[in-house]
Amino acid sequence: MKAVVAGLRRNVIWLLAGMVTACAGTSPAANSARTPVVLPYAATTTARVRVATVATGLPGASALALDPRTATLYALEPAAGRVIALAPDGARTTLTSALRGAAWLAFDPRLGRLLAIDAARRAVVSIAPNGRLRPYVALPPSGGALTQIAVASGGTLYATQRHPGSVVVATPARRVRVYPVVTGMLALAQGSGAMYVTNADFGLLAPFNERRVAPGVRSPLLRFASAMAYDPRAGAFFFTDTRHDRILEARAGSVRVVAGNGRAGAVDGAAAVAEFDAPLGIAYDAARNALFVADAGDGAIREITGL
């Protein structure tokens, strides 16, 4: 019975990841038909990389956002419309349970503002410290639901939108423009001087220049990327691979597996033996040089250090 329940739960998570990837015209089920390309671990790096569980009891935790000023980590439980605030000392509080159709989180460090996609309101909302929701940017009247959001260093909000695949850009003055893109648009992250996107159809990581996706890094591994985060010091991007239970890294033009042996589980320890269970959301903490991963399958937050 436990195995049946676990299987059903995992299918629900894959459906959630499929909603995130729907703007790409690619789903976990479709990706599963492809044979994953597993690059060898770099011994000089993974000898230091460790995985540890830092929080549990967060059913279906998906998106993550980090407040770099306070090191508070926010985790989204989409089914409950709930956002949990996790303090560095381990204390947790429910920030809000009022989101409807919640899909993703982002933090605007310029204004100290937590943002969330609220699909039922067809808007991105800001969440005050007291949990109150305020409209931030309304969706265009036409087009599909937003799937992911990210905030650029200057305060411009970027969002991926499915059906049709497009990127919605909202300036700090709330001027909204929609840019049609090629199919495959998926994850977003602020990179060095630009907002970067992945294209699952082409296994591409590239800067987005509001007119087209520029040439970038290509790898078969990026066909499975669900979400990404950026390390500005090393110029490295990190990705969750929900379908294959692993964490990827793109650095200096190459892509590799940085943690996870590809088996579903909740095993901590060295990168090559660690196991994840449907990892989805990801956030990078520059102060600690650490990654936080929302392991949706076991309702946990995992920390990756030694990068």
Tens-place pLDDT, residues 169-217: 998 888 898 887 755 556 788 877 788 888 777 788 888 866 665 678 8
Q: What is the percentage of the chain residues whose pLDDT exceeds 70?
A: 80
Residue 36: pLDDT band with limits 50, 70, 90: very low
What does CATH list as the number for 2-305?
A: 2.120.10.30
CA neighbours closer than 13 Å in the CB half-sphere of residue 28? 21
Domain boundaries, the chain: 2-305
The arithmetic mean of pLDDT across residues 139-150, rounded, is: 81
What's the CA gap between 78 and 93, in Å, rounded?
Answer: 16
Alpha carbon of 193 to those of 155, 179, 221: distances in Å? 13, 19, 24
Which pair of tokens denotes residue 307? 């990068």
pTM of the entire predicted model: 0.85
- pLDDT score recorded for residue 28: 34
